[in-house]
Amino acid sequence: MKSWIEIEADSDFSMENIPFGIGLIQGNGKCICTRIGDTVIDLAGMARLGYFDHLGFKVSDFEKPVLNDFISKGKKSASRIRTIIQECFMESNSSDSDMALIKQMALHNASEIQMLMPVLVGDYTDFYSSIEHATNVGMMFRDPANALLPNWRHIPVGYHGRASSIVVSGAEIHRPKGQIKPATSEFPVFSPTMQLDFELETAFVIGKENPLGDSISTAEAEEYIFGMVLFNDLSARDIQSWEYVPLGPFLSKNFASVISPWIVTLDALEPFRCNGPGQQPEVLPYLQFDGERNFDINLQVRIKPENKEETIVSKSNFKYMYWNMSQQLAHHTINGCNMRVGDLCGSGTISGPDAESYGSMLELTWKGTKPIAMPDGSERKFINDNDTVIMRGFGKKDGIRVGFGEANVKILPVK
């Protein structure tokens, strides 16, 4: 699809994308936006021009600080808005007078718009669904011969995280501090984390709620998934390894996690559907599914030291996920747990089979034993103060590119 808006060839925000986010627009406040190329489109402005009248949307439906109410109107509504935007911005479809009005009422340069948290996250769950990641961590922290715990191939393992500290790309986070037990001492010490790490993840946003007591089947699961974002689940490994038995991670994870501001819909990701890894042994019936449920999404992590160039430290892909999102959601609700609009489910660190495709510094440097050389001559075992961690992700197939933009976070010295 060609647009009358300029789109660079490698833009994440093609006409096939049309993601949803919340922008802060000078003079207009917070409103629902989408983006084509480097142009942010204020959907409240489009509504003022009457483009969504026939769908029953009012201007005020787009003047919102978060997407939750919009998402609650259903995936079909969002899908229709996406189609209208595509038609409206198609090169062949607009008259000069339409274009002039739209430019005046609804278009902004992306560099001038501050993107905000797209949803109010009620509950946040993080899974542990990459077999390569679970195997690597098991080898480092437990027994290399029995790296995967006996339940791993039967259960999409997950834990309930904390929603309050999920922040949007561009955040600055102070290095956390806490209890750490050095291997050489009998008792813990109190210290800034010396092993601050990223976790390369995606997350899906719940788009429809199920009543408490009901389950969502794998067949229905995608009706409940509004879209996806990039997700950096920051982790303090030294705090984690001391605290995580028996109830799992706590303060090592809840100090901050970072999402990309644009929610990319499953409609937009449709061209990148693919099969996931085969599952052996066969899973229980409620976790079985039909069709292609994984997505071929290239993922990348870069580290940018202050005032220096950025270096790629990891290249992975969402398609490596052993457990897919439909299985995660079916498992999450099999006991009757109710999901609510805006809830977020993290994939878990997405590592691939090669050493360059590992999704955390823990694995990339193998617990700090193989530091990464940076172009400025320094090395990284984990994340240093004043480093910015940049995550990117996009699908690309048959000339179509759909991407997420970035999830960035700068690490400041300990408070």
Active-site residues, by number, are 133
Q: Which positions from 335 through 394 interact with Mn ion, judged by CB under 5 A?
A: none
**Minimum CB distance to Mn ion smaller for 252 or for 326:** 252
Nearest to 232 by CA among 307, 162, 168: 168
Cα-based angle 367, 370, 372 (whole degrees, multiple of 5) = 110
126 binds Mn ion (CB under 5 A): yes
Nearest to 357 by CA among 138, 69, 132, 142: 132
Distance CA 17, CA 314 (A): 24
Least CB distance from residue 236 to Mn ion, whole Å? 12
Least CB distance from residue 240 to Mn ion, whole Å? 10
Least CB distance from residue 201 to Mn ion, whole Å? 6
Distance CA 260, CA 353 (A): 25
Which H or E element spans position 158?
strand 158-160
Letters for 228-247 (x = contact with Mn ion by CB under 5 A, - = none) are: -----x--------------
Region near Mn ion per CB under 5 A, out of 117-125, 126-134, 149-157, 373-381: 126-134
Q: What is the DSSP letter of 90?
A: B
**Minimum CB distance to Mn ion smaller for 200 or for 269:** 200
Region near Mn ion per CB under 5 A, out of 43-51, 119-127, 163-171, 208-216: 119-127
**Minimum CB distance to Mn ion smaller for 42 or for 132:** 132
Cα-based angle 331, 274, 344 (whole degrees, multiple of 5) = 40
Q: What is the DSSP letter of 222?
A: G
Q: What is the DSSP letter of 263?
A: B
Letters for 182-211 (x = contact with Mn ion by CB under 5 A, - = none) are: -----------------x------------
Region near Mn ion per CB under 5 A, out of 23-31, 124-132, 170-178, 350-358: 124-132
**Minimum CB distance to Mn ion smaller for 47 or for 345:** 345
Least CB distance from residue 323 to Mn ion, whole Å? 14
What is the number of the residue whose Cβ is closest to Mn ion?
A: 233
Least CB distance from residue 222 to Mn ion, whole Å? 22
**Minimum CB distance to Mn ion smaller for 35 or for 332:** 332
Least CB distance from residue 128 to Mn ion, whole Å? 7
- Dig out the tokens for 124 from the structure: 């946040």
Binding residues for Mn ion, rule CB under 5 A, total: 3
Cα-based angle 201, 203, 204 (whole degrees, multiple of 5) = 155
Chain residues binding Mn ion by CB under 5 A are 126, 199, 233
